[in-house]
């Protein structure tokens, strides 16, 4: 099996699964309970919070545990909008956000908020000058993805943070789900107020994540019924998932020494793809993460390509896993100015630190074999 869909989810490391299993079976108490089992569970949650905070260079009290990136994005965006609605109802984001951000803003529009969706250039990046021009006296939130989940484009987060330093009334939210452990980001230096992360993107367990909320920030909660997570996320904590996530984050950061290998694999794959007739690269050359490549095979249907590769036990995807079953052209590729044919035929390959050169070679071999077969079927 060759797994090249790591942006959809990563395979949990064996030691992470072992940790999850041990905690789930041994420390199963409710962290809110007053007895010893509850206090043991609470202690593990507290320790995990501190470990994650230390890795990121933030305070433990600024880490709020969630079920993943989607929930973190919703809490950050809706929580800010609702909390600051008396001050203003204008929000800013981009045209290339993950569905969990894009649809959260769509809901807020239905509630009477006004949203500016910043356009991107051919590389998929916004221009900070256009963001500055979009800011109004009633703007309360700017939300920008760090690494695009379809193309790997890196947004100018540091420049945005520097700009927003002149507008203290505006909260700055960053979706860091695809970048964490792959593309460094200093939350403090970037002046980020809210930052969403998800464990299953760095070999942790699904259903766990965390949201950085800068100390002193006030946002509304989406859930009610408990005082957990600084009253921002009611509900019993997923103790086993949280402990496993803290360990997965540490292990993933230890593997960052392979970062240069990811870059080499990406360059190799692009060179090989460019030798295939009808293949065009959609990901940019600059300002891009090392683990995501998006390309189109003109004259083919991406879902057919994915299934043909699946039959060979090679696994890739079309676009974001959250919208891969939709037949519409990629919203992200369309925003970058690509034609409908190109935006409708995008394929995403995404690496992990476990990906090897041999797997890339095999992928290219299989792609070269199936493309003529698919075109023959389409043209017959």
Catalytic residue positions, numbered: 322
Cβ proximity of 278 and 299 under 8 Å? yes
Do 342 and 298 contact (CB within 8 A), yes or no? Answer: yes
Question: Residue by residue, what is the 3-state secondary structure of the chain?
Answer: CEECECCCCCCCCHHHHHHHHHHHHHCCCCCCCCCHHHHHHHHHHHHHHHHHHHHHCCCHHHEEEECCHHHHHHHHHHHHHHHCCCCCCEEEEECCCCHHHHHHHHHHHHCCCEEEEECCCCCCCCCHHHHHHHCCCCEEEEEEECECCCCCEECCHHHHHHHHCCCCCCEEEEECCCCCCCCCCCCCCCCCCEEEEEHHHCCCCCCCEEEEECCCCCCCCCCCCCCCHHHCCCCCCCHHHHHHHHHHHHHHHHHHHHHHHHHHHHHHHHHHHCCCCCEEECCCCCCECCCEEEEEECCCCHHHHHHHHHCCCEECECCCCCCCCCCCCCHHHHHCCCCHHHHCCEEEEECCCCCCHHHHHHHHHHHHHHHHHHHHHHHC
Q: Token digits for 222?
A: 């989406």
Pair 185, 157: CB distance under 8 Å: yes
Structure tokens at 54: 């230390």
Q: Which residues of 155-166 are buried (b: 16+ CB within 10 A; e: fewer)?
A: bbbeebbebbee
């Amino acid at each position: 099996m060759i797994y090249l869909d790591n942006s959809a989810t990563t395979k949990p490391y064996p030691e992470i699964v072992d940790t999850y299993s041990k905690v789930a079976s041994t420390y199963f108490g409710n962290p809110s309970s007053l007895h010893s089992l509850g206090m043991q569970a609470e202690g593990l949650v507290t320790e995990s919070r501190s470990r994650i905070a230390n890795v990121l260079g933030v305070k433990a009290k600024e880490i709020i545990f969630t079920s993943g990136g989607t929930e973190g994005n919703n809490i950050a965006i809706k929580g800010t909008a609702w909390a600051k609605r008396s001050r203003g109802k204008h929000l800013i984001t981009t045209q290339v956000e993950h569905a969990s951000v894009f649809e959260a803003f769509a809901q807020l529009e239905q509630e009477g908020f006004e949203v500016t969706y910043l356009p991107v250039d051919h590389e998929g990046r916004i221009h900070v000058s256009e963001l500055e021009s979009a800011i109004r006296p009633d703007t309360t939130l700017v939300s920008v993805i760090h690494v695009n989940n379809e193309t790997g484009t890196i947004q100018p987060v540091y420049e945005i943070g520097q700009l927003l330093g002149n507008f203290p009334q505006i909260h700055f939210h960053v979706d860091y789900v695809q970048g964490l452990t792959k593309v460094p980001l200093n939350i403090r230096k970037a002046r980020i107020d809210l930052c969403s992360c998800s464990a299953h993107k760095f070999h942790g367990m699904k259903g766990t994540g965390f949201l950085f909320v800068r100390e002193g920030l006030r946002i509304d909660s989406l859930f009610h019924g408990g005082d957990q997570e600084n009253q921002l996320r009611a509900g019993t904590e997923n103790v086993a998932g949280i402990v496993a996530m803290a360990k997965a984050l540490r292990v993933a950061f230890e593997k960052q020494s392979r970062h240069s290998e990811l870059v080499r694999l990406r360059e190799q794959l692009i060179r090989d793809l460019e030798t295939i007739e009808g293949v065009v690269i959609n990901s940019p050359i600059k300002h891009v993460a090392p683990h995501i490549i998006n390309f189109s095979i003109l004259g083919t249907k991406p879902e057919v390509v994915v299934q043909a590769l699946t039959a060979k036990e090679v696994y890739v995807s079309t676009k974001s896993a959250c919208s891969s079953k939709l037949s519409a052209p990629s919203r992200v590729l369309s925003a970058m100015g690509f034609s409908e044919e190109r935006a409708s035929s995008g394929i995403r390959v995404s690496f992990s630190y476990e990906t090897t050169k041999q797997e890339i070679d095999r992928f290219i071999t299989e792609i070269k074999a199936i493309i003529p077969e698919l075109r023959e079927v389409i043209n017959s």
